[in-house]
A and B are shown apart, each in its own frame.
Chain A
Amino acid sequence: MSAAEEVVAEGHQAVEAVPKRAMTLGTGTSLLVLAVLLIVPVFVKNFIIFQMTMLLIYGLAVLALNILTGGSGQFSLGQSAFYAVGAYTSAVLMEYFNVNYALTIPISAVVCFGFGYLFGKPALRLSGVYLALATFALATAMPQLLKLNFLEHWTGGVQGLVVTKPDAPFGLPMSQDTWLYYFSLAVVLAIYIFSVNLLRSRSGRAFMAIRDNEIAASSMGVNVALYKTLAFGVSAGITGVAGSLGAIAVQFVAPDSYTITLAISLFLGMVVGGVGWLPGSFVGAAFIIFVPNMAEGISKGLSGAVFGVLLFAVIYLVPHGARQIAIMGQQLVGRLRKN
């Protein structure tokens, strides 16, 4: 077994420090991807731009889960609830209070941070499957809560709310979809850089220490309760931003768009992308957006089975997700350079 494979085998959830040369390689690839993301919308149709926007948004939501699970080791099936809160915050502010769409995003980040932080408090007592059940309960409760009678005035009940799509500002000559794409790209990029730095900071190291061994972390002076709830808050806040962007992009919010199925999809995205590897979030998002469509294309009646088989194929070939491919690529480049 080669050295890099051992790294995968040992630290399957770890976000380790990357060696210096790999860093430049990683940075190069990131810049290349960014350049592609910037140029592509010029050449493709509006529908594809819309799908790319959704890819960024789901990628952001998977990234949030990755910080929580890959970073601090807490498992959550309740991300759809945070996503819903973000989406509704934006929709209600835009439709009832005429707040500018761009301003609703930081507001929903703050609202969701608070919500996640408070939810993280009682969840402190739970871990593993018990935490999974608690977050699962949150996810199943959320659509029902949004339908409650006394909230119906604000949430529109079962019918949901229609959100108006913003035009490009300053008279820029681009379609609404293209503008929204670039807007989302800017937001996602900012949060991505924030997240990478967060995981490398003192707080990020505290998250990882808790993930690897809670008792050892607390004996090193890490405030376990504080950092665990903080991880929940940050994850919920980022998911909320994804929810807001999603509501603006889809132009519609309704309770039944935010069921447990969404939370499960996000979870699958994280596994496929590689737990704890932030760039993998976007690979995972691509999987959960495009593979179900592909499966439907292969067989209408058996689309679920085809999806399941494809998912099995992925986890057999690369049990550690896209991250494993990245590490293999890195190794290959390293070997080529030596020769």
Chain B
Amino acid sequence: MELFTNQVLAGIATGAIYACMALAVVMIYQAIDHLNFAQGEMAMFSTFISWQLMQWGIPYWAAFVITLALSFVGGIAIERILFKPLAKAPVLTNVAGFIALFAIINSSAGLIWDFTIKQYPTPFGSSPFLGSQLISTHQAGMIGVTVLLLLGLYFFFQYTKIGLAMRAAASVPESARLVGINTSWMIALGWGMASAIGAIAGMLIAPVVFLEPNMMGGVLIYGFAAAVLGGLTSPFGAVVGGFLVGVFENLAGTYIPGVGNELKLPIALALIISVLVVKPAGLFGRQIVKRV
């Protein structure tokens, strides 16, 4: 029993990483209706910027805020320059665009900061949390930040005018335009926010997985899985999905015989797909009613 609780706790700790990433994925999905395959690379690039700022002697929190601002502007710039011209192109062409963006960011980061693994500081410290060996203060901090972020987003979307405008633009663009919402800029804003959330995720994850251009590969896959499991229309679902995936993955690795580190990912994905077969819109997703 103790093994079980320990594994669940450890799963929740890694789940926080996936939850953060899943939140960024859902944000952009809400704004543009596509899964952004370059999301992880954007987060990685932001994290490198913050690392560079700290190398130049700027304290952690100042670097944190500057990076958020830069990521926000960067996300908007990517949308305006690269993806706005593709707005009318077929969906699959857009997906190819994301893959191209992935390649560009990954390779530029490799050239600027090279592929050696770098240490990344944590603002929370890494001593055991409340005397538990399994969960460090950093991981506890990470869970805390994820929950705060979720609450913040909830209030933003539910109680601010601009949040409402963004939701309207995403769900019924034509009607939103008729009531005077600039839907094109709402999409750009969505990119900016997703990029900033991704930056937060990257900066929280970096102390755990270490900083290098390929750090996000695995995390993004779990992030996608978490977002899809929770339901792509629900930020809350994304966070719950993130924690569930973390726990799934740990328990599968512990209890199913013959499952080493190698098979953890396929098993977690298989489990998610079996959930989706029963609930095709994800656990908390809205069933989208299509007009025939």
Contact = CB atoms under 8 A, between A and B. Distances in A.
Interface of A: 12-13, 69, 75, 122, 125-126, 129-130, 132-134, 136-137, 140-141, 144-145, 147, 149, 213, 215-216, 264, 267-268, 270-272, 275, 301-309, 311-312, 315-316, 319-321
Interface stretch (B147-155, B248-256, B272-280): B272-280
* Chain A, interface SS category: helix
Nearest to B85: A316
Contacts of A267: 92, 95-96, 99
A141 B266 contact: yes
B276 A311 contact: no
Interface of B: 35, 82, 85-86, 88-90, 92-93, 95-97, 99-104, 106-108, 110-111, 221, 224-225, 228, 232, 258, 262-263, 265-266, 269-270, 272-273, 276-277, 280, 292
Given A133-B273, A145-B266, A215-B292, A304 B95 contact: no
A144 to B, nearest CB: 5
A264 B92 CA distance: 12
Q: Do most interface residues of chain B lie in helix, strand or loop, or is the interface mixed?
A: helix
A125 B276 contact: yes
The 4 A-B residue pairs with the shortest CB-CB distance in the complex, in nearest-first order: A304-B107, A141-B266, A137-B269, A308-B104
A314 to B, nearest CB: 8
B114 to A, nearest CB: 9
Contact of B107 (A75, A140, A305): A305
B289 to A, nearest CB: 12
B104 A304 contact: yes
A129 B228 contact: yes
A141 B269 CA distance: 9
Given A122-B273, A133-B224, A271-B95, A308 B101 contact: yes
B191 to A, nearest CB: 16
Contacts of A140: 221, 265-266, 269
B111 A275 contact: no
A271 B89 CA distance: 11
B242 to A, nearest CB: 15
Contacts of A136: 221, 269
Contacts of B92: 69, 75, 267, 270-271, 275
